[in-house]
Amino acid sequence: MQRFGTDQEVLQIACEWLEQGHEVALVTVLKTWGSSPRAPGSLLVMRRDGIHSGSVSGGCVEEDLVQRYRDQQLSDSFPTRVDYGVNRVEATRFGLPCGGRLELLVEQLDDSGQLQSLLDALRQQQLITRQVDLQTGKITLQAASAEESFVYSHSYVRKVFGAQWKLLLIGAGHLSHYVSQMALMLGYRVIVCDPRDEYAQNWKVEGTELTTLMPDEAVQSYAQQAQSIVVALTHDPKLDDMALVDALGSPAFYVGAIGSRRNCESRRQRLKQFGLTPGQLQRLHAPTGLPIGSHTPPEIALSILAEITQQRNTVSGSIKQSVSMV
């Protein structure tokens, strides 16, 4: 079974429910204040009979929201905006910590064909912007770029669907299976590079892309944007070093390599001979991953993605996704 990122799972479920004849509503987090646990753009889909998928708070908001939709108490017309946690009493009641507050958009869905078009584009690794006119409810879809962010204005809401971050893994070995599976669940576009026939022929992680380019060529093809990540996992200097030389000179956000501390220090000495500057060498995360005492491939994969997530969430000094108000 193919694994989807959270957004794609919600859209796929909504499409299936519509095709089955259910009344379906899509809920999007518009804005948060305080310590609301879900970021703007987070999705939930719910049926009139109370079945739902996704989340907008991680607390009791979902239960109340679904009940209000089930009892037809949300609005007489859609799309509509709903506030939760306006004061501390309500915030506590709905499980929002520290007086948190969130504003939601609720849409009544009625076109499975449009959702299917969006899903088809996402399966083709396209980035798509879905814009909702808050006055008319009209939906428009158009191509998007990885740099675009979630936008909530007085007249429309615009959300980018698709993998805005690319993860290039060097090596199609055992560890890469676990890293790629976890990365798909986190919403990455995963490209696995391995020019070795014996490894490439056995790669079977659905939802990933396999390339047999040489590692340096793969970096040049897939990791020339700021929202790219390169992790070398082969333990073979002839392959890993080729990728790292190009990756450390690229705009890639994160560059990492597996190995012991001794091997990683030897790698740095080798990389110096390729003319990399001290600043470029400092960009290398090696050994890659947070030191969580991991030993098994799944644990190591977890530590790698944990460090990448940590870097992504702290580089701008803020854990929450920024929201543009126009």
Mean pLDDT of the 274-294 span: 95
Q: What is the per-residue pLDDT across 88-112, written as a single tens digit (0 to 9) for each?
A: 666 666 666 655 788 999 999 998 9
Question: Is residue 144 located within the same domain as residue 261?
Answer: no
Question: Is residue 80 located within the same domain as residue 152?
Answer: yes
For residues 18-57, one letter each, b for 16 or more C-beta atoms within 10 angstroms of the residue's C-beta and e for the rest, the string is beeeebbbbbbbbbbeeebbbebbbbbbbbbeeebbbbbb
Q: What is the per-residue pLDDT across 242-261, written as a single tens digit (0 to 9) for each?
A: 999 999 999 999 999 999 99
On whether residue 40 sits in a domain, the answer given is yes
Q: What is the per-residue pLDDT across 164-209, written as a single tens digit (0 to 9) for each?
A: 999 999 999 999 999 999 999 999 999 999 999 999 999 999 999 9
Q: Quote the domain boundaries for residue 233.
A: 166-314
Distant-in-sequence, close-in-space partners of 147: CB < 8 Å, separation ≥ 6: 226, 227
Q: Is the pLDDT of residue 300 over 50?
A: yes
Cα of 302 vs its chain's centroid, Å: 15
Q: What is the per-residue pLDDT across 41-92, written as a single tens digit (0 to 9) for each?
A: 999 999 999 999 999 987 678 989 999 999 999 988 899 999 987 666 666 6
The proportion of the chain whose per-residue pLDDT surpasses 70, expressed as a percent, equals 90
Q: What pTM was estimated for this model as a whole?
A: 0.84
On whether residue 262 sits in a domain, the answer given is yes
Of 108, 127, 161, the domain-final residue: 161
On whether residue 320 sits in a domain, the answer given is no
| Whole-angstrom distance, CA of residue 14 vs CA of residue 47 | 9
Of 161, 185, 214, the domain-final residue: 161
Other C-beta atoms closer than 10 Å to the C-beta of 323 total: 16
